[in-house]
Amino acid sequence: MKSTGIVRKVDELGRIVLPIEMRRTLDIAERDALEIYVEGSSVILKKYKPSCIFCDTTKDIALFKGKSVCPKCMRELSHMNASLGRPILEAEPYRGKNSSAPHRTCAGGSHLT
């Protein structure tokens, strides 16, 4: 872990401010989601990247029923559904944590919940 020499105090609500130089370097914008980890006695902040709940890939993630799923796993789920005589599944592309909930539909056009 590289030391930056920057020290910040925690305010009465438990908040800290990340310096603008650090946010620019790490491509962290206002309202970006950060994951918080504890490793030993260290607190680690990491920019949140959604990943597939089945295979952990982070490429081309879509939301289905509030869960992140990659295209490959979505195809596998659709094939499983088709073999069971159920509608083929479709999902909306992931738009970030701050977007409104996407509409999910099956191939017939009816809305899923």
pLDDT in tens, 54-83: 998 988 888 888 888 999 998 888 888 777
88-108 CB burial, b ≥16 within 10 A, e <16: ebebeebeeeeeeeeebeeee
* pTM for this prediction: 0.49
Domain that holds residue 14: 7-48
pLDDT of 82: 76
57 and 112 both lie in a single domain: yes
pLDDT of 52: 92
71 and 103 both lie in a single domain: yes
pLDDT of 112: 44
SS3 68: strand
Please state the domain count of the chain: 2
We report the CATH number of the domain holding residue 25 as 2.10.260.10
Q: Which burial class, exposed, middle or buried, applies to 68 when counting CB atoms under 10 A from its CB (0-12, 13-18, 19+)? A: buried
Residue 87 near residue 106, CB atoms below 8 Å:
yes
34 and 62 both lie in a single domain: no
11 and 33 both lie in a single domain: yes
